[in-house]
């Protein structure tokens, strides 16, 4: 089902699609590819929205920086000093996070209106990012397909092709609050990650891979998340052709469980410490599947380079249940 959700100042309409299957209801916006809401039952069958978001378009336009539920690109996470070199040429990007480029720049994919077409059990969002958009090279044709499978899991599959060498890193930026209470501090997290990428004062990876043993970053056994995290974890499985489960988030109060499976090699854990009003710090937990931050400047990291004739593919699956 689709409906008009609002209109931008230039008159561009924004639509909302509702997907429903196996007791799960998901609403997706053409603006930013935003997952506006995900409604799932608790252990007693009571439904609640388990992602942070707004009830109207104005909320997203007024509060863009937390990237609530957005499709993030052309490059998710940070690129140091807003610059990278590729094939001997240096590219300068928009710097929108101190000295760095973050989540695609000042007007990344999260602030664009996407074309949307219905597919079986979901929708397919497409757009063309022109050569030079936010400083990135190459004309990039992008598609993101959101579907609900027979178990009610939300599957997001990304594809992209380019006409010139470029870099690509796409993710969804939903913040999960499994209790629907406005605070996720009591959630318990398990992550299949033995290492993380430590960062400097500007949150740029140093290039090292740090063992999580004996640190507050060790979530290999489920424990309370708390706050104070904005870090990329190196998933033990690495890059895979099909999604592999890497994370589980559990809310003991409601009994809701979120599982995350992905093809990506990394996952950014962000505990919403700086989301701002109307939400409080710790209101949700973002689990952003991705390649590593600043990979274009780190040849030792898994590559994010896409060349003509290649197809970028990535898939992440968010499963919902109770216990």
pLDDT (mean) for 175-190: 94
* pLDDT tens digits, one per residue of 38-80: 999 999 999 999 999 999 999 999 999 899 999 999 999 999 9
Q: Hey, which residues does 179 pair with through a beta bridge?
A: none
CB 21 within 8 A of CB 151: no
**Is residue 193 very low, low, confident or very high in pLDDT (cuts 50, 70, 90)?**
very high
Chain CA centroid to CA 110, Å:
10
CB 52 within 8 A of CB 177: yes
* pLDDT tens digits, one per residue of 210-223: 999 999 999 999 99
Indicate yes or no: pTM above 0.95: yes
- SS in 3 state form for 229-263? CEEEEECCCCCCCCCEEEEEEECCCCCEEEEEEEC
288 is catalytic: yes
| Number of separate domains in the chain | 1
**Is residue 31 very low, low, confident or very high in pLDDT (cuts 50, 70, 90)?**
very high
Active-site hit among 103, 173, 187, 291:
173
Cα–Cα distance for residue pair 104/28, rounded to 1 Å: 20
Cα–Cα distance for residue pair 192/21, rounded to 1 Å: 28
Q: What is the mean pLDDT of the chain?
A: 97
Tell me what pLDDT residue 131 has: 98
202: left (phi over 0), alpha (psi -120 to 50) or beta: alpha
* pLDDT tens digits, one per residue of 88-124: 999 999 999 999 999 999 999 999 999 999 999 999 9
Q: Is 57 helix (H, G, I), strand (E, B) or coil?
A: helix
Residue percentage of the chain with pLDDT more than 90: 96
Q: What letter does residue 182 receive in the DSSP assignment?
A: S
Residue 276: is its pLDDT beyond 90?
Answer: no
Active-site hit among 133, 288, 291, 315:
288
Residue 182: is its pLDDT beyond 90?
Answer: no
Cis peptide before 178 (omega within 30 of 0): no
Tell me what pLDDT residue 21 has: 98
Q: What letter does residue 268 receive in the DSSP assignment?
A: E
CB 247 within 8 A of CB 191: yes
Which residues, other chains included, contact 315 with Cβ-Cβ below 8 Å and sequence gap of 6+? 155, 156, 157, 158, 242, 243, 262, 263
Give the domain CATH number at 295. Answer: 2.70.98.10
From the CB of residue 221, how many other CB atoms can be counted at a distance below 10 Å? Answer: 8
CB 178 within 8 A of CB 258: yes
Tell me what pLDDT residue 201 has: 93
Task: Please give the residue range of the domain that contains residue 74.
Answer: 2-322
**Is residue 185 very low, low, confident or very high in pLDDT (cuts 50, 70, 90)?**
confident
* pLDDT tens digits, one per residue of 115-148: 999 999 999 999 999 999 999 999 999 999 999 9
Q: What letter does residue 136 receive in the DSSP assignment?
A: -
Tell me what pLDDT residue 297 has: 98
Question: What single string gives the DSSP state of each residue in 74-119?
Answer: SB-SEEGGGEEEETTEEEE----BTTBEETTSTT-GGGSBPEEEEE
Q: Is 60 helix (H, G, I), strand (E, B) or coil?
A: helix
Q: Is 125 helix (H, G, I), strand (E, B) or coil?
A: strand
């Amino acid at each position: 089902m689709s409906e008009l959700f609002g209109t931008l100042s230039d008159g561009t309409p924004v639509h909302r699609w509702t997907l429903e299957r196996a007791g799960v209801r998901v609403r997706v916006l053409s603006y930013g590819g935003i997952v506006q809401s995900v409604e799932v039952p608790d252990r007693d069958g009571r439904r609640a929205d388990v992602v942070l978001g707004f009830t109207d378009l104005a909320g997203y336009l007024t509060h863009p920086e937390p990237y609530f539920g957005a499709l993030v690109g052309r490059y998710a996470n940070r690129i140091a000093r807003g610059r990278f070199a590729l094939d001997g040429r240096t590219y300068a990007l928009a710097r929108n996070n101190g000295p760095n480029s973050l989540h695609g720049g000042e007007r990344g994919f999260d602030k664009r209106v996407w074309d949307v077409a219905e597919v079986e059990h979901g929708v397919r969002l497409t757009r063309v990012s022109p050569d030079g958009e936010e400083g990135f090279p190459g004309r990039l044709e992008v598609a993101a397909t959101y579907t609900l499978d027979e178990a009610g899991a939300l599957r997001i599959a990304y594809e992209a092709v380019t006409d010139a060498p470029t870099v690509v890193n796409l993710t969804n930026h939903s913040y999960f609050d499994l209790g629907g209470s406005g605070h996720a501090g009591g959630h318990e997290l398990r992550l299949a990650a033995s290492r993380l990428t430590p960062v400097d004062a500007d949150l740029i990876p140093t290039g090292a891979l740090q063992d999580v043993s004996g640190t507050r970053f060790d979530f290999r056994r489920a424990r309370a998340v708390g706050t104070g995290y904005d870090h990329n974890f190196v998933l033990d499985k690495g890059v895979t052709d099909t999604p592999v489960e890497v994370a589980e988030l559990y809310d003991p109060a409601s009994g809701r469980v979120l599982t995350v499976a992905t093809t990506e090699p990394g996952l950014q854990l962000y505990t919403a410490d700086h989301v701002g009003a109307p939400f409080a710090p710790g209101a949700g937990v973002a689990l952003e599947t991705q390649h590593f931050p600043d990979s274009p400047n780190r040849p030792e990291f898994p590559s994010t380079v896409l060349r003509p004739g290649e197809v970028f593919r990535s898939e992440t699956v968010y499963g919902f249940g109770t216990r």
